[in-house]
């Protein structure tokens, strides 16, 4: 879940990518001249309760989801469910009037790191239902007359921005760990029908430790925007109540 780049698979049938990506392949104008991209569905994200996040979207995400930290690298995620399913995907569509995480909006595109020179290459998940490998004329072309279309250019820019944000997020998480600010947390919730659920395996910022940070750290973090990111994270924890309500409504509807 934490990896944001991938290296090309050793053979065409071996998937080697981050969450949701099954067969990421670098785009090439000659090999993929006839490939197209169909309108997207988010059905691929229906069976997860957590989506990777980057700090540049904390402000928007905090209005809709709890922002939590997971794993030894303290990778931030947005919690989109209490059980195994995503409470914000229905029939392949994202919930109306709700922020859609950048990680989802990037799919099926992703950056891959070249084994030869370490540079990033634009790739896409060849196994995605959105990808039309030249079977017919359905979808938008990726290349016309050997040149990338606006669709590919926009994907390149989005992935470049996301990769830059991911690196900044990695530095932010490393700083939290270095200051020992994260603590393990779990919550027990009761749905409207009386059913009880537990959510565990995540970390949050310890408010007391945060308040005791040295002044020089506070100033440095303020200047690079990390204080705001922490405040967004802390305020987002109140969104657990909204998740409980959504889960209750889903159970009731079922």
The CA distance from 82 to 191, in Å, is 11
The tokens of 22 are what?
């099954």
Q: How far is CA 151 from the centre of its chain?
A: 21
Render the burial of 180-199: b for 16+ CB within 10 Å, e for the rest. Answer: ebbeeeeeebebeeeeeeeb
The CA distance from 197 to 111, in Å, is 37
Render the burial of 44-70: b for 16+ CB within 10 Å, e for the rest. Answer: bbbebbbbbbbbbbbeebbebbbbbbb
CA distances from residue 111 to 4, 75, 222, 236 in whole angstroms, order as listed:
8, 18, 30, 29
pLDDT over threshold 80, residue 116: no
3-state percent helix, strand, coil for the chain, nearest multiple of 5: 35, 25, 45
132-184: per-residue pLDDT in tens? 999 999 999 999 999 999 999 999 999 999 999 999 999 999 999 999 999 99
175-216: per-residue pLDDT in tens? 999 999 999 999 998 888 888 888 899 999 999 999 999 999
- Predicted TM-score of the model (pTM): 0.89
């Amino acid at each position: 879940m934490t990896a944001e780049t991938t290296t090309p698979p050793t053979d065409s049938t071996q998937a080697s990518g981050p969450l949701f990506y099954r067969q990421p392949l670098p785009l090439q104008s000659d090999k993929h001249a006839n490939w197209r991209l169909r309108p997207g569905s988010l059905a691929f994200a229906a069976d997860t309760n957590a989506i990777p996040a980057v700090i540049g979207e904390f402000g928007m995400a905090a209005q809709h989801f709890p922002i939590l930290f997971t794993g030894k690298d303290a990778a931030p995620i947005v919690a989109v469910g209490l059980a195994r399913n995503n409470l914000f995907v229905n029939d392949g569509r994202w919930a109306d009037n709700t922020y859609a995480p950048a990680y989802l909006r990037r799919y099926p595109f992703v950056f891959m790191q070249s084994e030869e020179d370490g540079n990033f290459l634009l790739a896409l998940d060849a196994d995605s239902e959105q990808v039309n490998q030249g079977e017919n004329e359905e979808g938008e072309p990726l290349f016309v007359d050997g040149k990338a279309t606006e669709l590919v250019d926009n994907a390149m820019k989005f992935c470049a921005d996301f990769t830059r944000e991911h690196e900044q997020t990695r530095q932010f998480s490393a700083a939290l760990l270095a200051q020992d600010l994260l603590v393990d947390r779990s919550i027990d919730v009761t749905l409207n029908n009386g059913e009880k659920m537990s959510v565990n395996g995540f970390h949050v910022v310890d408010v007391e430790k945060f308040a005791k940070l040295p002044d020089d750290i506070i100033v440095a973090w303020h200047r690079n925007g990390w204080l705001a990111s922490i405040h967004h994270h802390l305020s987002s924890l109140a969104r657990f109540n909204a998740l409980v309500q959504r889960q209750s409504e889903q159970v009731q509807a079922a």
